[in-house]
Structure formats: structure tokens, C-alpha cells
Copies of this chain bind each other. A is one copy, B any other.
Amino acid sequence: MKIAKADNIEAKVVDTEGAEGVVIRLLIHEADGAPNFYMRQFNVAPGGHTPRHTHDWEHEVYVLAGSGTLAGAEADEPIAAGDCIFVPPREPHQFRAAANEELKMLCLIPSTGG
């Protein structure tokens, strides 16, 4: 059993090309013995964004705080605290924080992903 204050877990800067103002925390991961999927927390600074990309695995996201935009394959959609989001495998996506507030979200992936 692991119980941890998520915000106290070490944050690492995401330096992937196309990321701007993003840090990641591995809340529940391989090192914790998670066998099937991993829980990560992302904090995106005001005006920042994740890379626009696509991959073979899905995302399951919950927005904890803030607001922003999810740029999908066909449109930009507004997102805000309290939203749950499913990004299917192979769908292009980019998360962008609003200009004036941090976007804080959980983003879970299968252990076979990224």
C-alpha cells in the first residue's frame, strides 16, 4: 500500500521537443509495483503546452485544477477542472494551459505505453 501527497512527489521537467512549461510527477508507477497502468500528474504553466503528438496507447485524464484547451485531431476543445478526458490510441492531441492559470491534471497510461 502506498499513500502519498501527490504534490510532494518529485517533479521533473518534461524536456521533450514541443513541450513548454510542463513538469511531470510519477504518482503510481513501475517502481511502486503497479502492474497494468501508471498514474502521472502534469502541471502545465500558464501559456504552456504539452507536445502535439500521437502514439499507440490511450490517455485517461482528469483535470484537477485550472483550464485550457485540448487540441485534438479535428478541433480545439475547452477543458477545465472536473473534466474527465479519454484520448484513444493514435489520436493526435496537445494539452494547452490558459494564459492566466496553471493546468494541473492526472494523465494515466497503460504500462505498455510511453
**How many copies of this chain are found per oligomer?**
2
Q: Tell me how many residues of A have a C-beta within 8 Å of chain B.
A: 42
Residues of A within 8 A of B (CB): 1-7, 9, 27-28, 32-37, 39, 41, 57-58, 60, 62, 64, 70, 72-73, 77, 79, 82-89, 91, 93, 106, 108, 110, 112
Residues of chain B within 8 A of A91, CB atoms compared: 1
> Quick check: B35 and A58 within 8 Å, CB to CB?
yes
**Least distance between A111 CB and chain B CB atoms (Å):** 8
Nearest residue (CB) in B for A38 is: B60
State in angstroms the CA–CA spacing of A20 and B60 once bound together.
Answer: 28
State in angstroms the CA–CA spacing of A5 and B79 once bound together.
Answer: 9
